């Protein structure tokens, strides 16, 4: 179909389900196989006292038509009653009916740090199916989740829900899915969505004694039946409390059960009076806590300081000042007595245990030991993130770092750029918490320096909301710390985040504030950064002449200060503005010179960007072969550096080039590859690609 022309307007009336390309187009590339998630938390082999509940759940599923599920069950009951164990056990028994995956999210409805954002759970679900990074907005993430779930037979456990509104975006809306929601609240609002409700009560007396016997031995319980009955009575027949009491009993094999019953009576004044927040369980936790050694007790209290719902072994080492082997040993002790749960990506406290751990942490929070523990964790995150910054953005790594302990023990080191990006991606949520933690605990220098160290995370992974929120905290913290260089950096890098999120007016205000401050204190390079940021707001607004003037001034300042990389980047941006102004012939030497200087620095990521711009300039001039060479080299560079947005952009440009040559088969293939990456990033560019593919799918006579 050489020489074909594409034209006319396009109206998309709905979703695109199939594309037919005239001229023998190639089919879209096959999607890679996705992993099958099996995320349900572990449960006992036999769930004591829950046969009637399991049968009731089975009946809910049996009422659905053959070959479908489409059931949402809300399991409600008091804290510690075993809702999660019941739901996980039931779904695990049904694994064969849901071959495409079993997913789990803890919504932390009653956790000390507040309920989880539904977007966090959506991100976990999407990553389980190979989507990373995930969409930035809740609406986009929910839409992509429903699309993924539509034809899959999956089971979903939404644990510890707080409200119906928190749950609703996470419902897959599929005829082939079953969803179980657990909550201490009734969540009657989910009835609007067709949910059914299964209340779960405490165990019967007999079942409670069976549970105790299962944990401490049937013979021991049989010998002291009366004392066993007192233990479960004083645990309020609450499964969590019974299990914790059992851990205490099991740790004292020669002590009679009557001693535990007496201790529970003295310490709890009766756990039957359990309130919804589980305050009475504290006494059972105290009883279990007493079996721990002094070093484990110390670690338990320090872990209670952490703001993260899930923490890694590295963080455990930092908070306790421990070597990995010792930390692993102490964690094992906490897991053995059910004070800690081991997750796939770390460790966590049950909500009730977290409250207990926080009470212990309050005893040391303001003491030297507690203050030093917080310093160690924040120092560890600052040092590790700075190591990633030094590898991924070495020219950005210029500002001070204030550590309480130097060198910071156990800080992360990275073998290559890909490893650093993976770590930043996995730690994004905890880094966000660490910024707030540092600011809230009166460590403003650490707060803004951590934001500064996260620059490659913002640049490559593009978490739009975090980019803005983190820099707002960083801006305030740098001012509190009285650090002018920190203020300037927060204003310029935060301004970039605002501009990228479409907040052009606020971005311009930040850059203008930075410009005035830089001139007032005599910081030419900071002045250049502010001018560069203003140039980008002008370019986005279509003020190309003003953008070009700012970039020429930026290049002059940086060149005068002996900053070759920054000079080259300003000239590269100038070339981009010339391209946008239709002046491709002028842009070619400007961009080519910037590319040459960036290679010499070296700056591989930025050099790849220069090649992408240079390819666009050659394509605009009709030099297709040279444009294709530039795109191929740029694509290799972006893939090596994990720059996923730019990889998608260059694939799109390669499709544009093929389309200009009349090779529509190649164009469709490249557009599909680009669209898949844009959709994974939830980038607005996806709409542009969809429109292009719709045009190519339209018969020539209808265009």
**In the predicted model, what is the mean pLDDT of residues 601-617?**
95
Q: 175 — phi, psi (to 5°)?
A: -75, -5
3-class DSSP assignment, residue 157: strand
Give the count of alpha carbons within 13 A of 430, CB side only.
Answer: 22
Query: How far is residue 353 CA from its own chain's centroid?
Result: 24
State the Cα–Cα distance between residues 180 and 82, nearest whole angstrom. Answer: 14
pLDDT digits 0-9 by tens, 412-463: 999 999 999 999 999 999 999 999 999 999 999 999 999 999 999 998 888 8
pLDDT score for 112 = 64
Q: What confidence score (pLDDT) does residue 340 get?
A: 83
Please give the Cα distance from 540 to 563 (Å, whole number): 26
Number of helices (H) and strands (E), helices first, in the chain? 31, 7
Question: pLDDT at position 376, please?
Answer: 97
Give the pLDDT of residue 309. Answer: 85
How do strand 341-343 and strand 346-348 relate by DSSP bridges? antiparallel
- Of 228-237, 363-372, 577-586, 648-657, least confident by mean pLDDT is 228-237
Checking if the pLDDT of 272 tops 50, the result is no
Distance CA 95, CA 73 (A): 17
The C-alpha atoms of residue 313 and residue 598 are separated, in whole angstroms, by 39
Measure the CA–CA gap between 381 and 443, rounded to whole angstroms. 14
Give the residue-averaged pLDDT of 631-636: 96
Q: What is the pLDDT of residue 156?
A: 95
115-161 confidence digits (pLDDT tens): 888 998 998 899 888 887 888 788 888 999 999 888 889 999 999 89
**Contacts of 470-475 spanning 24+ positions with Cβ under 8 A:** 470/432, 470/435, 471/497, 473/435, 473/436, 473/439, 473/447, 473/448, 474/435, 474/447, 474/448, 474/450, 475/448
pLDDT exceeds cutoff 70 at 638:
yes
Q: Is the pLDDT of residue 270 over 50?
A: no
On the question of pLDDT at 585 being above 80, the answer is: yes
Note if the pTM is more than 0.75. no
Q: What is the CATH number of domain 51-199?
A: 3.40.50.300
**Cα(547)–Cα(538) distance, integer angstroms:** 5
Q: What is the pLDDT of residues 145-157, one digit of tens each?
A: 999 888 889 999 9
Measured in residues, the chain has a length of 703
Please spell the DSSP secondary structure of 496-555, one letter per residue.
HHHHHTT-HHHHHHHHHHHHHHHHHHT-HHHHHHHHHHHHHHHHHTT-HHHHHHHHHHHH
- φ/ψ (deg, to 5) at 179: -125, 130
Contacts with 611 (C-beta within 8 Å, 6 or more apart), sequence order: 595, 630, 631, 633, 634, 637
Stated as kind and residue range, the H or E segment containing 198 is: strand 196-199
Phi, psi of 159 (to 5 degrees): -95, 145
Residue 68: pLDDT band with limits 50, 70, 90: low
The 3-class secondary structure across 301-368, one letter per residue, is HHHCCCCCCCECHHHHHHHHCCCHHHHHHHHHHHHHCCCCEEECCEEECCHHHHHHHHHHHHCCCCCH
Element (H, E) at 451: helix 444-453
By the 10 Å C-beta count (0-12 exposed, 13-18 middle, 19+ buried), 461 is classed as: buried
Structure tokens at 33: 């196989």
- Domain segments of the chain as ranges: 51-199, 205-289, 294-365, 366-462
pLDDT tens track for 349-401: 866 577 778 888 999 999 999 999 999 999 999 999 999 999 999 989 999 99
Q: Are 444 and 480 in contact (CB under 8 A)?
A: yes
655-692 residues labelled b (16+ CB within 10 A) or e (exposed): bbbbbebebbbbbbbbbbbbbbbbbbbbbebbeebbeb
Which of the residue ranges 139-143, 489-493, 552-556 would you say has the lowest mean pLDDT? 139-143
Residue that has been written with the tokens 């204030």 in this structure = 402
Note the Cα 363 to chain centre separation in Å. 32
Report d(CA 517, CA 379) in Å as an integer. 29
Report the candidate in 343, 327, 319 with the shortest Cα–Cα distance to residue 108. 343
Angle, alpha carbons 427-428-432 (nearest 5°): 115
The yes-or-no verdict on residue 338 having pLDDT over 80 is no
Q: Residue 701: what pLDDT?
A: 59
Convert the pLDDT of each residue in 218-233 to its tens digit: 999 999 999 999 988 8
Residue spans of beta strands (DSSP E) within 540-675: none
How high is the pLDDT of residue 238?
82
Q: Check residues 355 and 31 and name the one with the higher pLDDT.
A: 355
- Region 202-212: what's the mean pLDDT? 92
DSSP symbol at 137 = S
**Alpha-helix residue ranges (DSSP H) falling in 181-224:** 205-216, 218-223
pLDDT in tens, 166-188: 999 999 988 889 999 998 778 88
Looking at residue 220, what is its pLDDT? 92
Distance, CA of 153 to CA of 480 (rounded, Å): 53
Matching CATH number, 294-365, of 1.20.80.30, 3.40.50.10440, 1.10.10.10, 1.10.30.50: 1.10.10.10
Please give the Cα distance from 107 to 82 (Å, whole number). Answer: 16
User: In this predicted structure, what is the pLDDT of residue 624?
Assistant: 96
d(CA 139, CA 141): 5
Residues 327, 330, 332, 335, CA torsion sign = negative
**Is the pLDDT at 4 greater than 60, yes or no?**
no
Residue 4 has φ and ψ, to the nearest 5°, of -65, 145
């Amino acid at each position: 179909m050489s020489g074909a022309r594409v034209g006319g307007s396009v109206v998309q009336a709905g979703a695109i389900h199939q594309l037919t390309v005239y001229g023998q187009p190639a089919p879209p590339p096959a999607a890679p196989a996705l992993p099958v998630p099996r995320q349900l938390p572990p449960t006992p082999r036999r769930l004591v006292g829950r046969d009637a509940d399991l049968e009731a759940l089975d009946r809910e599923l049996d009422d659905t038509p053959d070959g479908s599920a489409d059931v949402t069950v809300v399991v409600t009951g008091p804290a510690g009653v075993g809702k999660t164990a019941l739901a996980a056990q039931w779904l695990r028994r049904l694994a064969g009916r849901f071959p495409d995956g079993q997913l789990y999210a803890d919504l932390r409805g009653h956790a000390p740090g507040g309920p989880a954002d539904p977007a966090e759970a959506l991100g976990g679900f999407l990553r389980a199916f190979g989507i990373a990074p995930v969409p930035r907005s809740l609406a986009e993430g929910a839409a992509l989740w429903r699309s993924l779930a539509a034809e899959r037979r999956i089971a979903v456990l939404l644990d510890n829900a707080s409200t119906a509104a928190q749950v609703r975006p996470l419902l897959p809306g599929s005829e082939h899915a079953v969803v179980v929601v657990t909550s201490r609240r009734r969540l009657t609002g989910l009835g609007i969505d067709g949910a059914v409700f299964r209340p779960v009560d405490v165990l019967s007396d007999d079942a409670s004694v069976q549970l105790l016997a299962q944990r401490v031995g049937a013979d021991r319980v049989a010998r002291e039946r009366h004392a066993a009955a007192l233990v479960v009575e004083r645990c309020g027949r609450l499964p969590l409390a019974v299990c914790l009491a059992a851990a205490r009993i099991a740790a004292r094999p020669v002590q009679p059960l009557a001693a535990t019953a007496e201790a529970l009576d003295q310490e709890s004044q009766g756990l039957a009076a359990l309130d919804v927040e589980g305050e009475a369980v504290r006494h059972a936790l105290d009883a279990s806590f007493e079996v721990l050694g002094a070093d484990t007790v110390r670690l338990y209290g320090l872990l209670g300081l952490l703001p993260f719902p899930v923490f890694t072994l590295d963080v455990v080492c930092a908070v306790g000042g421990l070597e990995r082997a010792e930390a692993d040993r102490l964690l094992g002790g906490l897991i053995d007595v059910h004070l800690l749960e081991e997750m796939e990506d770390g460790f966590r406290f049950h909500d009730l245990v977290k409250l207990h751990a926080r009470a212990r942490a309050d005893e040391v929070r303001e003491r030297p030991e507690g203050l030093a523990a917080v310093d160690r964790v924040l120092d560890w995150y600052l040092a590790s993130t700075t190591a990633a910054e030094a590898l991924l953005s070495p020219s950005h790594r210029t500002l001070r770092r204030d550590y309480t302990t130097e060198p910071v023990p156990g800080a992360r080191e990275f073998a290559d750029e890909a490893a650093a990006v993976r770590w930043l991606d996995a730690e994004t949520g905890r880094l966000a918490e660490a910024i707030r933690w540092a600011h809230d605990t009166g460590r403003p220098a650490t707060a803004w320096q951590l934001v500064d160290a996260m620059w490659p995370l913002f640049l490559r992974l593009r978490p739009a909301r975090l980019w803005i929120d983190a820099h707002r905290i960083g801006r305030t913290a740098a001012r509190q710390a009285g650090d002018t260089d920190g203020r300037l950096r927060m204003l310029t890098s935060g301004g970039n985040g605002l501009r990228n999120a479409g907040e052009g007016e606020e971005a311009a205000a930040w850059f203008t504030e930075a410009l005035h401050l830089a001139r007032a204190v005599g910081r030419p390079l900071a002045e250049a950064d502010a001018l560069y940021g203003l140039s980008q707001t002008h370019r986005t607004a279509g003020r190309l002449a003003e953008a070009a003037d700012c970039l020429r001034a930026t290049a002059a300042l940086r060149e005068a200060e002996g900053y070759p990389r920054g000079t080259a980047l300003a000239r590269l941006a100038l070339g981009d503005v010339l391209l946008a102004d239709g002046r491709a012939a002028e842009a070619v030497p400007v961009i080519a010179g910037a590319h040459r200087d960036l290679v010499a620095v070296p700056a591989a990521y930025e050099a790849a960007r220069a090649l992408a711009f240079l390819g666009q300039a050659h394509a605009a001039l009709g030099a297709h072969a040279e444009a294709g060479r530039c795109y191929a080299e740029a694509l290799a560079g972006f893939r090596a550096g994990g720059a996923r947005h730019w990889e998608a952009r260059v694939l799109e440009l390669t499709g544009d080039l093929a389309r200009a040559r009349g090779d529509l088969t190649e164009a469709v293939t490249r557009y599909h590859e680009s669209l898949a990456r844009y959709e994974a990033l939830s980038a607005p560019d996806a709409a542009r690609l969809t429109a292009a593919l719709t045009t190519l799918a339209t018969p020539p006579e209808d265009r």
